[in-house]
Structure 1
Amino acid sequence: MKNLKNALLLKHLYHLKDLGHRYTDLTIFKEDPSDLLLPNTMEELRKQALNCHLCELSKSRTKVVFGEGNENADILFVGEAPGASEDSQGKPFVGKSGELLTKMIENVLNIPRSEVYIANIVKCRPPENRAPTATEAHTCRPYIFKQIELIKPKLIVTLGSTAYHYLTDDSTPISQIRGVINQQPDYIIIPTFHPSYLLRNPSAKKEVFEDLKKVKSLM
């Protein structure tokens, strides 16, 4: 949250500069905490994210990929960042990875995809589908934490190492931590492989199948 506050404060200072204020003015600037808080409704949070320009990714994105699904879902899936298909449509997991994720949800958990919520750590596509930098992830991360606060899921399935790392600050490799129950105060996190990894390594699907069976047993 500190990174987001700093970015919002810097944006405010630039706005004051454009209005003719000088940074050498003797008037002491007092931060109003209410100006730096994220909205308490999903719709207002979405509007803020769609107009976010707090990191470099806003310059190259086509669309912000906020997230979609049941806003009262018991299960939240969190990925890394949008890809090319997601960037063009503004929706999470709509390419080949999305097709596989849908099959994972509907064939293993036996619930419609529309009954879960799906989002990413970073809301804008990194160029060339690279992993988000630490600065990008930490700047954007308050949005996913606010989504969690609003949705109140019982289970969070993190897809890949990046999602798990930025939700828990645990850098354990995904190959070692996948399927392990991480009990948080208000929800459980279960990490597993990202669908894009499964497309490159089909043999790992059986491990994800076991992870999702564990999710189903906890539902």
Structure 2
Amino acid sequence: MTQSKSKAELFTAMGIGPVWELKNSPLAQADSHSDSHIKPTSAQPSLESLRSTVASCRACDLCETRKQTVFSDGVAQSHLMIVGEAPGAEEDETGMPFVGRAGQLLDRMLNAVDRSRKSNVYIANVLKCRPPGNRDPHVGEIEKCSDHLFQQIALNNPKVLLLVGRFSIQTLLNTKKSVGELRGKVHHVTLNGLNIPAIVTYHPAYLLRRPEEKSKAWDDLLLLKKLGIQ
């Protein structure tokens, strides 16, 4: 589809109107100050064996309150991999990431740039278990769970990462900067010999609370589209 058509479709899907022209945002160079250099993991399993390992994980207290682990959705080895933060109540019930209203908004956003979890997107979260009451992840929980994520990324070998939400961004870019400070640039995640371009954006749940920020998320998707992933 043309950019103007996809822009109109996205703004309609995201509840923004009328459509206005967004500023040009040329492809930025990698921000070396926020690039992540993740230590290589040990010998890596297959995705299915990693899923089984995650399902039986009892490394932190979240195993006591979860209904089930939430490993992934979408198509493995897709060129685009999305990394969110942590499962919520609906994800805990279904075992799938990004369901409910936030997941529906994410799906509409991706559709506007010709992406779909049914055909060309793989989705995971930093945490594989729901924090009670949908609270923010604790540092110790992220530390315990992050090796699973690093292995998951390495096994999928994506061409680009879309990091969605503060905890995903800070974990994979090894930074304490806010989403607003990191937007508009192409970052890189270095992992097991891979050097993966990464775009950051706001979490769909945040956009549902702050709809005035949806136009910024569209700018982020335009930057993602400029990377030319297939």
TM-score bucket of the superposed structures, by smaller chain? 0.7 to 0.9
Residue in 1 that maps onto 2:126: 121
| 1:77 matched to 2:82 | yes
Give distance in 2, aligned partners of 1:204 and 1:215: 17
TM superposition shift of 1:37: 4.3
> Match for 2:168 among 163, 169, 180?
163
| 2:144 is equivalent to residue 135 of structure 1 | no
Q: 1:163 to 1:123 in 2, by over 3 A?
A: same
Could you list the runs of 5+ residues in structure 2 that have no partner in the other structure? 1-40
2:221 alignment partner, SS class? helix
CA distance, structure 2, for counterparts of residue 61 and residue 151 of structure 1: 26
Q: Which moved more, 1:68-77 or 1:58-67?
A: 68-77
Instruction: State the distance in 2 between where 1:76 and 1:179 align.
Output: 18
- Maintained 8 Å contact 2:73/2:117: no
The alignment covers a number of residue pairs equal to 183
Q: 1: CA distance between counterparts of 2:71 and 2:221?
A: 24
| Alignment-derived partner of residue 18 in structure 2 | none
Quick one: distance in 1 between partners of 2:43 and 2:51?
10
Aligned to 2:114: 110
Task: Let me know the Cα RMSD of the aligned residues.
Answer: 1.3
Indicate yes or no: 2:206 matched with 1:197.
Answer: yes
| Higher share of residues assigned helix | 1
With over 3 angstroms needed to count, the CA separation of the structure-2 counterparts of 1:38 and 1:51, relative to structure 1, is farther
Q: Of 60, 68, 71, which aligns to 2:73?
A: 68
8 Å contact from structure 1 (residues 122, 140) kept in 2: yes
Give the aligned residue type for 1:167. L
1:44-63 CA distance string (max 9 Å, x none): 00000011111000000001
Q: Does 1:214 align with 2:223?
A: yes
What TM-score results when the alignment is normalised by the length of structure 2? 0.77
Larger RCO, structure (CA 8 Å, separation 6 or more):
2
Q: Distance in 2 between matches of 1:44 and 1:158?
A: 24
**TM-score in terms of structure 1 length:** 0.81
Matched residue, 2:21: none
Higher alpha-carbon Rg: 1
Q: CA deviation at 1:161?
A: 1.0
1:187 equivalenced with 2:199 (yes/no): no
**CA offset at residue 205 of structure 1?**
0.8
Verify: 1:101 aligned to 2:106, yes or no. yes
Does 206-215 or 37-46 show the bigger shift? Answer: 37-46
| Offset, 1:38 | 6.0
Check 1:54–1:38 CA distance in 2 against 1; reply closer, same or farther (3 A cut). Answer: farther
Q: Which runs of 5+ in 1 are unaligned?
A: 1-35
- Identity over aligned pairs, percent: 37
Separation in structure 1 between the aligned mates of residue 42 and residue 159 of structure 2, nearest angstrom: 24
Classify 1:38/1:194 alpha carbon distance in 2 versus 1 (closer, same or farther; 3 Å).
Answer: farther
Alpha-carbon separation, structure 2, partners of 1:147 and 1:117:
10
